[in-house]
Amino acid sequence: MTIRVTVWNEARQDRSDDAVRAVYPDGINAAIAAGLREEDGLLVRTATLDEPDQGLSAAVLAETDVLVWWGHVAHNEVTDEVVDRVHARVLDGMGLVVLHSAHFSRIFRRLMGTTCALKWREAGERERIWVVDPGHPIAEGLPESFVLDHEEMYGEHFDVPAPDRLVLVSWFQGGEVFRSGCCYQRGRGRIFYFRPGHETHPTYHQPLVRRVIANAARWAGMPSGSAPSYSNPPPLEPLG
Amino acid sequence: MTIRVTVWNEARQDRSDDAVRAVYPDGINAAIAAGLREEDGLLVRTATLDEPDQGLSAAVLAETDVLVWWGHVAHNEVTDEVVDRVHARVLDGMGLVVLHSAHFSRIFRRLMGTTCALKWREAGERERIWVVDPGHPIAEGLPESFVLDHEEMYGEHFDVPAPDRLVLVSWFQGGEVFRSGCCYQRGRGRIFYFRPGHETHPTYHQPLVRRVIANAARWAGMPSGSAPSYSNPPPLEPLG
Amino acid sequence: MTIRVTVWNEARQDRSDDAVRAVYPDGINAAIAAGLREEDGLLVRTATLDEPDQGLSAAVLAETDVLVWWGHVAHNEVTDEVVDRVHARVLDGMGLVVLHSAHFSRIFRRLMGTTCALKWREAGERERIWVVDPGHPIAEGLPESFVLDHEEMYGEHFDVPAPDRLVLVSWFQGGEVFRSGCCYQRGRGRIFYFRPGHETHPTYHQPLVRRVIANAARWAGMPSGSAPSYSNPPPLEPLG
Amino acid sequence: MTIRVTVWNEARQDRSDDAVRAVYPDGINAAIAAGLREEDGLLVRTATLDEPDQGLSAAVLAETDVLVWWGHVAHNEVTDEVVDRVHARVLDGMGLVVLHSAHFSRIFRRLMGTTCALKWREAGERERIWVVDPGHPIAEGLPESFVLDHEEMYGEHFDVPAPDRLVLVSWFQGGEVFRSGCCYQRGRGRIFYFRPGHETHPTYHQPLVRRVIANAARWAGMPSGSAPSYSNPPPLEPLG
């Protein structure tokens, strides 16, 4: 079964900021999509904020099994209409993979119901990512831990609902920890938050980061069960 | 330790609708508050939609450890300002007990991130409420199950995140089941959704319903741990 | 990917008891296996208590991705050796689907750590099974609810750890409810408890019951992530 | 309400090993109990393996609301009878606080159903313990993180069921992380696993470690809801 993945990006800093262009000359989105295209069974397209309908028309979403989302400086430019549309599609079964600074995206905050705040530090320090739930499909093919030599630190407390499954925990050189791989079910949709990916580090070129994102796309694109209805039905049994 | 409870109600149908007035001559809010006032250790006040600041000024919330919420026909009259204020207080540690038709309140939907939709039927049928988590403090003093002779039916699927703790499940005469007592942690705040309480049935006069609401107020008003910060801190360890 | 399923049964009452033989002339195991053999992608074998190694040698388990378990009157005949072997394989990633009266099997109690006790009544009453988590793969292809005309009742409280995912809840004609479809992760293995299947009712011939068991076999047989180690490693970072 | 705490210890290394005696001249148990005795509302007694009934007679357990357990080299000396008795009391509502190397105690493994294995390193390295669930009562009075200058390392993967609530996560100087404060509900009993406490470090003299253990004793000793029954009842509704 082919899973249709749309990789969405605000695509601002990777046009305007030389430090970002040095790492992602074709844009962050291209690097994420390239990683996914290395995989069998995934059909990958990209979309960005400055396209018509902010890249996320009803037609695009209808053809999307999993949406991958990266944003940072333009969260508030995403319109109510787009947030509402994506939100409805997730509850109806579309998967959503939320990357790094998209913890503050409108769609993630809408789905979580919390502030999604955290600690951060841009010091290019070492991050070690540990698998704490080795039985989860998102851990498939990972070693017990892996290293990102230089990343932005995100530290606890991370103000999200406790994940349904906590798959990854990060250790940072500066002394912090972070719940870096968090699974959620909302309605019929699966959501995965994955921490790494600061725009000035080559994180999305890293093979194990790509493995996590591809595993997450497969997991979030899994068939989503049965269709509920919300209605005012007659009794199934006699009320006597 | 005294727990300060504010019982909030839209207080519309119990003024305008004779069938509701027959059951709750002093209003639904008065009945809920009367149940809570039977308890030691709870300091109870009431508030309603038509009061200044919709009854929920910053000052009222600052003095509230647990907010009990009933609404039905006027959910959309609650302003953004009030929803934002209550939301922030819950994440900061105030408890919230959400009753019956308030499953569709703006504050509950904001906190859940889902539609909170369900099935319903107004047929005055029998409901049996079963304890499925007898170790939870909200089950304190309850029998294994108890009966409401006449209630509105709410049926699955209930579109909420899976509760952190599922305490009560309802059986309905007409053939449905419902997750009737659902606990959530959001930020530092505790949330309890409790199903019963259709406005034309004397549910909030029922002693075991009052027991659940009082237990929930105590549980949601429990000390809420430590204070997180969300900041940009220097490293705790040398970055070398 | 083919999933290798071993369907295990104590196979006692279906040899000795005429009422059971009338419903399952070839044994309960044959009916369960027949349902699984209707599916693509599942390679199904059977095993029973009276075979050498109680049907579950190390070799059989090594070739099993998912073990389906039905037992009732002979739980205590299963040896420590077999329980230990199955337990180790589950923690190492083999799926386990536990049916009906196997709630009291030694392997399920070992994995749960609780008594697994419940209420029961053999009155051949009507059961309605509701999907409460429509986004779960085990709900794939199910209607919102389905009926078993005659079943043994199991009622709450069911003394198991709260399931990681609660997929199905049963309504019984006699007034009880039950958490009928419960998912657990233990080590790298997935466990699903499914309630129906009293030996004197034709439950395992029912198409939707077969659908649930087949979905559960697929779900529990999913790739199980990465391999942990438990060791005494040198530091990854300088302790300086 | 007074909570009756029994602090149990195998009490072997703190008699035989000079390095342990140097840190805990009166035994590890005395240090843990001394911390608890600083608190209001806790009535503290101690018990050890070499006492009659291994210190845990039915009479002692009947008078215990919370049992605190430390063991290391003598896990296998604890008899089946004592494990069965403690297990039954936990399921019936007694709290259990499991410390450090007691992750391998028979009672903890029985309750978890998994191996409870982990990585370890005795290098006296620095540990930072972070609060990841600030709304939990066990976090009451804690700063966002605190330091133990010298501790044994425990690293992931920790083979336990995913905790119902994950309150604390440890960072280690050598590069590992660990889920250090894990809450479980089993039957009507509450269980808290707390990582620190290697026998050659003065961990149980540390004020914040004592705070966590006292908070855990209070939390695990909370009233445990209602009493379930496991029976063969007549129908509540007509089966007609």
D38 CA: distance to closest CA in chain C (Å): 34
In angstroms, the CA A3 to CA A216 distance is 12
Q: Which two tokens stand for residue C233?
A: 């490693």
| Confidence category of residue A14, pLDDT binned at 50, 70, 90 | confident
User: Given CB atoms, is C227 within the 8 Å cutoff of chain A?
Assistant: yes
Q: Which residues of B touch C169 (CB under 8 A)?
A: 156, 169, 177, 179
Please say whether the dihedral angle defined by the alpha carbons of residues B23, B27, B32 and B35, taken in this order, is positive or negative: negative
Is B129 a member of any domain? no
**D143 to A152, A155, A225, B94, D157: CA distances (angstroms):** 23, 14, 43, 20, 26
Full residue range of the structural domain in which residue D68 is found: 3-113+181-220
Is D162 a member of any domain? no
CB contact under 8 A, A135 and C227: no
Residue D65 is given by DSSP the state: S
CB contact under 8 A, B134 and D237: no
Q: Is the pLDDT of residue C171 over 90?
A: yes
Option in B128, B141, B190 nearest D236 (CB): B128
Is the separation of the CB atoms in B109 and B184 below 8 Å?
A: no
CB contact under 8 A, C140 and A188: no
Is A109 a member of any domain? yes
From the CB of residue B85, how many other CB atoms can be counted at a distance below 10 Å?
A: 19
Beta bridge partners of D191: D96, D184
Chain B: touching chains (3 or more CB pairs < 8 Å): A, C, D
CB contact under 8 A, A171 and D176: yes
Is the separation of the CB atoms in A193 and A181 below 8 Å?
A: yes
Question: SS3 sequence, chain A?
Answer: CCEEEEEEECCCHHHHCHHHHHHCCCCHHHHHHHHHHCCCCEEEEEEECCCHHHHCCHHHHHCCCEEEEECCCCHHHCCHHHHHHHHHHHHCCCEEEEEHHHHHCHHHHHHHCCCCCCEEEEEEEEEEEEECCCCCHHHCCCCCEEEEEEEEEEECCCCCCCCCEEEEEEEECCCCEEEEEEEEEECCEEEEEECCCCCCCCHHHCHHHHHHHHHHHHHHCCCCCCCCCCCCCCCCCCCC
Task: Choose the mutation target among B66, B169, B208, B226 for the interface with D, i.e. most D CBs under 10 Å.
Answer: B226
Q: Which two tokens stand for residue A181?
A: 């791989």
Q: Which tens digit of pLDDT belongs to each residue from D89-110? A: 999 999 999 999 999 999 999 9
CB contact under 8 A, C130 and B166: no
User: Given CB atoms, is D58 within the 8 Å cutoff of chain C?
Assistant: no
CATH number of the domain within which A205 lies: 3.40.50.880
Is C120 a member of any domain? no
Q: Which residues of D touch C174 (CB under 8 A)?
A: 234-237, 239
pLDDT at residue number C224: 74
| Confidence category of residue A224, pLDDT binned at 50, 70, 90 | confident
Option in C113, C123, C239 nearest D235 (CB): C123
In angstroms, the CA D37 to CA D63 distance is 17
In angstroms, the CA A97 to CA A183 distance is 9
Q: Which two tokens stand for residue D189?
A: 């009993």
Please say whether the dihedral angle defined by the alpha carbons of residues D106, D110, D115 and D119, taken in this order, is positive or negative: negative
pLDDT at residue number A21: 94
Nearest residue to A178 via CA among A127, A122, A126, A112: A127
Option in C132, C134, C144 nearest B179 (CB): C132
Option in B128, B131, B156 nearest C130 (CB): B156
Is the separation of the CB atoms in D5 and D45 below 8 Å?
A: yes
D168 CA: distance to closest CA in chain A (Å): 10
User: Given CB atoms, is B149 within the 8 Å cutoff of chain D?
Assistant: no
Q: Which tens digit of pLDDT belongs to each residue from A31-83? A: 999 999 999 999 999 999 999 999 999 999 999 999 999 999 999 999 999 99
CB contact under 8 A, C115 and D187: yes
CB pairs under 8 A between B and D: 91
If one counts the domains in chain C, the total is 1
Q: Which tens digit of pLDDT belongs to each residue from B28-40? A: 999 999 999 999 9
In angstroms, the CA D88 to CA D82 distance is 10
Nearest residue to D191 via CA among D6, D67, D43: D67
CB contact under 8 A, D179 and A134: no
Option in B117, B174, B239 nearest A174 (CB): B239
User: Given CB atoms, is D81 within the 8 Å cutoff of chain A?
Assistant: no
CB contact under 8 A, A165 and C164: yes
Residue C21 is given by DSSP the state: H
**Residue positions counted in chain B:** 240
State residue D156 phi and psi, 5-degree precision: -70, 155
Please say whether the dihedral angle defined by the alpha carbons of residues C82, C87, C89 and C95, taken in this order, is positive or negative: positive
Q: Which tens digit of pLDDT belongs to each residue from A139-185? A: 999 999 999 999 999 999 999 999 999 999 999 999 999 999 999 99
CB pairs under 8 A between B and C: 60
Is B52 a member of any domain? yes
Nearest residue to D179 via CA among D190, D191, D167: D167
Q: Which residues of B touch D219 (CB under 8 A)?
A: none
pLDDT at residue number A223: 73
Q: Which two tokens stand for residue B191?
A: 């949330």
CB contact under 8 A, B175 and C128: yes
In angstroms, the CA A195 to CA A182 distance is 9
For residue C240, the SS3 value is: coil
Is the separation of the CB atoms in D220 and D97 below 8 Å?
A: yes
Is the separation of the CB atoms in B217 and B68 below 8 Å?
A: yes
User: Given CB atoms, is A125 within the 8 Å cutoff of chain D?
Assistant: no
Nearest residue to D213 via CA among D70, D27, D75: D70
Q: What residues contact residue D86 under an 8 Å CB cut-off, 6+ apart?
A: D56, D61, D67, D94, D96, D107
pTM: 0.97
Q: Which tens digit of pLDDT belongs to each residue from C57-82? A: 999 999 999 999 999 999 999 999 99
Beta bridge partners of C97: C68, C192
In angstroms, the CA C180 to CA C165 distance is 11
Mean of the pLDDT values across residues C212-234?
92
In angstroms, the CA D73 to CA D95 distance is 23
Is D148 a member of any domain? no
For residue D80, the SS3 value is: helix
Task: Pick out chain D residues at pLDDT < 70.
Answer: none
From the CB of residue C74, how many other CB atoms can be counted at a distance below 10 Å?
A: 16
In angstroms, the CA D19 to CA D35 distance is 21
CB contact under 8 A, A225 and C133: yes
In angstroms, the CA C51 to CA C61 distance is 14
Question: Which of B48-62, B204-218, D13-27, D31-45 is least confident?
Answer: D13-27
DSSP conformation letters of D212-227: HHHHHHHHHTS-----
B171 CA: distance to closest CA in chain C (Å): 6
- E strands of chain D, at which residues? 3-9, 42-48, 66-70, 95-99, 119-131, 145-155, 165-172, 177-186, 189-194
Summary mean pLDDT of chain D: 96
- The predicted complex's ipTM stands at 0.96
Beta bridge partners of C47: C8
User: Given CB atoms, is B232 within the 8 Å cutoff of chain A?
Assistant: yes
In angstroms, the CA D48 to CA D6 distance is 10
Q: Which tens digit of pLDDT belongs to each residue from B93-139? A: 999 999 999 999 999 999 999 999 999 999 999 999 999 999 999 99
CB contact under 8 A, C190 and A135: yes
pLDDT at residue number B180: 98
CB contact under 8 A, D237 and C175: yes
In angstroms, the CA B97 to CA D48 distance is 44
In angstroms, the CA A167 to CA D117 distance is 17
Q: Is the pLDDT of residue B150 over 80?
A: yes
Nearest residue to A129 via CA among A68, A218, A208: A208
pLDDT at residue number B58: 98
Is D161 a member of any domain? no
Is the separation of the CB atoms in A30 and A40 below 8 Å?
A: no
In angstroms, the CA D200 to CA D18 distance is 9
Question: Which of A116-125, B208-217, C218-227, D21-30 is least confident?
Answer: C218-227
| Confidence category of residue C15, pLDDT binned at 50, 70, 90 | confident
Nearest residue to A64 via CA among A38, A36, A27: A36
Is A51 a member of any domain? yes
CB contact under 8 A, A171 and D171: yes
